[in-house]
Amino acid sequence: MAEKYIARSSAIAARLLGDEMMVMSTADSTFFTLNEVASVIWQAADGLTPLSEIVAAKICREFDVDQEQALRGAERFVEELSQHGILLVSDKPLMDSSLSLVSR
Amino acid sequence: MSLLAEMNQKALRLGLPLSVHLDITYRCNERCVHCYLDHDDHGEMTTEEIVDVLTQLADVGVFFLSLSGGEVLMRRDFFEIVERARQLLFNVKVKTNGVMIREKEAARLRQLGVEQVQISVYSHRPEVHDAITKLPGSLKRTIRAIRFLKSQGLKVVIANVLMNGNFSDQPGVIALARELGVSYTLDPTITPKMDGDTSILALRIPGSELRQVFHNQELVGNVEEFCAPPPPPGEDIMEGFPCSAGHTACYISPYGDVFPCVQFPLPSGNVRRQKFLDIWRHSPQLQDVRSIRAKDLSTCSSCAHVGTCTRCPGLAYMEGNMRGPSTADCEKSFQRTGIPSANMLAGAYGSSRGQLIQIQAAG
C-alpha cells in the first residue's frame, strides 16, 4: 500500500484547549475538535513523516493500540479532515505551506 | 449545544480566555459622529510589543482574535501583525471601514487566511453615510472594498450601527448587503465616549424605533418567540454569569491596557508592565467581574427580565455600578416585550444618565 504524507493546511485556525485541539477552516468556517489521539496525529502532520510512521511512533506506543487498527482509524480521520481542506494528503512528502505554522 | 458552545463552556471551566478583541490603533481616517474613541496616538504598542502580546495570547489558549481600531489599516505594520497572528494559528476577524482596502489589500487578507472582515456601513445613500463618517466619498470606497474582498472569496459582514440619522435607511443597507452577497448585522447601541462625554447618547434611536427593530421578522426571525414575555428564572439563571466579559473574553487597547470587554472600561492591568496570564489570573478587577452572579445584581436580580435581558455589565459600570442595571438594556427589554424592567418600575430609569464613569489607563 502506498504511503500517505499529511500536512496541516495554512487555511486553518487551531488551538489546544485542555486535552482537545480546536480546529477551524478559515475557508468554510467548519469547526472541529480533535480528541487526544487525533491531536497527536494533527501535531505530527509535518508533511514529511509517513502516516504509518506517525501511527507507529506516536499512537501505538503512547496509547497501546494495535498498529493495523490504529492505522485504519487514522486514515479515516485524515480522509475526513482532508475533505474540508484542513489536512493536505499526498503519496509524496509535502513541502512547507506558505505560512510557517506554529501549533500551540 | 453546538460544538463551539461546548468549547466555550470548557474554556469557562478551565478559566481560559477563548476570545480577545485587540484594538491596534485608535487612529482613524473617518470621524464618525457616534464614535466613542479619541483618535490621537498616545503611545501605541510597537510591532514587537504586539507580537509579544499575540505570542502570550496563543500560549494561554486564545483562539478567536478580533483586530480592530480605530482603523486597522492606519498602522503601516497591519499586515505584519495579521501575518504573525495567522502564523500563531488564531482565528482572525478584522473590523475596518474598508476605505483603504483595494485589490492588493483584499488579496493579502485572503492569502493570510483571515476568517471574516466586518465593515461598517451606515446607509446605502452616500449623503447619509458620508455625513456620519465625515469623510466625503467614504461609502463609495467602502462598497468598492467589499467588492474586492468578495471577489477574493472572503467572508464579509456589513455592520450597521443604528442611530437617529440613519434609522430609516436600514432596509436600504440590508438590500445593499444582499446585492453585494454579504452578511448583515445591526447594532442599535451607542456608547458614551471614552472621556466620559455622554453627548453622543443623544444619537440613540428612540424606544419606538427600537420596538420596530425588535418586531421586524426580517431582523429577528420569529417575532413571537423573540418578543415573548420572559419565563420565570430558574436557579441556573440566578447562579449564571451576565456575559463572557472577563470570563472567556477580554479587550486589549492599543496602549496595552486590559479590560473585561471593549464596552467595559474597567482598567484591569497593562501588558507593558505584566504578563497577560498574570493579569488574566490575578487581576483583582477581573476577579471582581467574575464573582458576579445574576442573583447578586442589585435591582436586576428581582427583574422579570433577569434571564433574558441583554444587560451589559460594561454599560452598567459606565452608569456607576457594574452590579446595577444598564438603562439602555432596560429599554431594549421593555421595547422587545412591552414589560417594564424592575429598574423602570423603581423609577430610577434615566436618573443615572450623566453619571458615567470616565475611562482611565490602568494604574
Question: pLDDT tier at B349 (50, 70, 90 boundaries)?
Answer: low
Choice among B171-185, B192-206, B330-344 with the minimum mean pLDDT: B192-206
In the A/B pair of chains, how many CB contacts fall below 8 A? 69
- Give the pLDDT confidence score for residue B259 in this predicted structure: 97
- Give the pLDDT confidence score for residue B355 in this predicted structure: 46
CB A43 within 8 A of CB A14: no
Mean pLDDT computed over B68-89: 97
Q: And the C-alpha cell for B214?
A: 425588535
If you search the block for the grid coordinates 504509518, which residue do you land on?
A52
Mean pLDDT computed over B294-314: 93
Q: And the C-alpha cell for B281?
A: 489570573
The alpha carbon of residue B55 is apart from the nearest alpha carbon of chain A, in Å, by: 10
Question: pLDDT tier at B359 (50, 70, 90 boundaries)?
Answer: very low
For residue B353, pLDDT beyond 60: no
CA–CA gap between residue B264 and residue B41 (Å, rounded): 21
For residue A1, pLDDT beyond 90: no
If you search the block for the grid coordinates 451607542, which residue do you land on?
B190
- Give the pLDDT confidence score for residue B351 in this predicted structure: 47
The alpha carbon of residue A15 is apart from the nearest alpha carbon of chain B, in Å, by: 6
| pTM of the complete model | 0.91
Percent of chain A with pLDDT over 70: 90
Question: pLDDT tier at B141 (50, 70, 90 boundaries)?
Answer: very high
Q: And the C-alpha cell for B225?
A: 418567540
Residue B177 phi, psi dihedral angles, 5° rounding = -60, -40
Mean pLDDT computed over A91-103: 64
What are the domain boundaries of chain A?
5-92
Q: In angstroms, how far is the first alpha carbon of chain B from the final one?
A: 40
Residue B278 Rama label (left phi>0; alpha psi -120 to 50; beta): alpha
One-letter amino acid at A21 equals M
- Give the pLDDT confidence score for residue A58 in this predicted structure: 86
CB B268 within 8 A of CB B362: yes
| CB-nearest partner of B88 from A20, A26, A104 | A104
Tell me how crowded residue B156 is: count the other CB atoms within 10 A of its CB. 22
Average pLDDT for chain B: 93
Of B245, B237, B201, B223, which is closest to residue B309 (Cα–Cα)? B237
B113 inside 8 A of chain A by CB: yes
The alpha carbon of residue A47 is apart from the nearest alpha carbon of chain B, in Å, by: 17
Question: pLDDT tier at B268 (50, 70, 90 boundaries)?
Answer: very high
Q: Which residues of B touch A100 (CB under 8 A)?
A: 87
Question: pLDDT tier at A104 (50, 70, 90 boundaries)?
Answer: low
Which position has the higher pLDDT, A80 or B26? B26
pLDDT digits (tens, 9 = 90+) for A85-94: 889 999 999 8
Q: Which residues of A touch B82 (CB under 8 A)?
A: none
> Residue B67: enclosing H or E segment and its boundaries?
strand B64-68
Which position has the higher pLDDT, B266 or A10? B266
CATH, domain A5-92, list 3.90.930.60, 1.10.540.10, 3.40.50.360, 3.40.50.170: 3.90.930.60
For residue B52, pLDDT beyond 60: yes
Question: pLDDT tier at A61 (50, 70, 90 boundaries)?
Answer: confident
Average pLDDT for chain A: 85
CA–CA gap between residue B304 and residue B182 (Å, rounded): 37
pLDDT digits (tens, 9 = 90+) for B163-190: 999 999 999 999 999 999 999 999 999 9
Q: Which residues of A touch B112 (CB under 8 A)?
A: 99
One-letter amino acid at B59 equals D
Interface confidence (ipTM) of the complex: 0.83
Residues contacting B239, CB < 8 A, separation 6+ = B293, B294, B295
CB contact under 8 A, A103 and B91: no
Which position has the higher pLDDT, B193 or B87? B87
CB B260 within 8 A of CB B251: yes
For residue B112, pLDDT beyond 90: yes
CA–CA gap between residue B270 and residue B259 (Å, rounded): 9
The DSSP code sequence of B161-226 is E--TTTGGGHHHHHHHHHHHT-EEEEE------TTS--GGGGGSPPHHHHHHHHT-HHHHS-HHHH
CB contact under 8 A, B89 and A101: yes
Question: pLDDT tier at B333 (50, 70, 90 boundaries)?
Answer: very high
B46 inside 8 A of chain A by CB: no
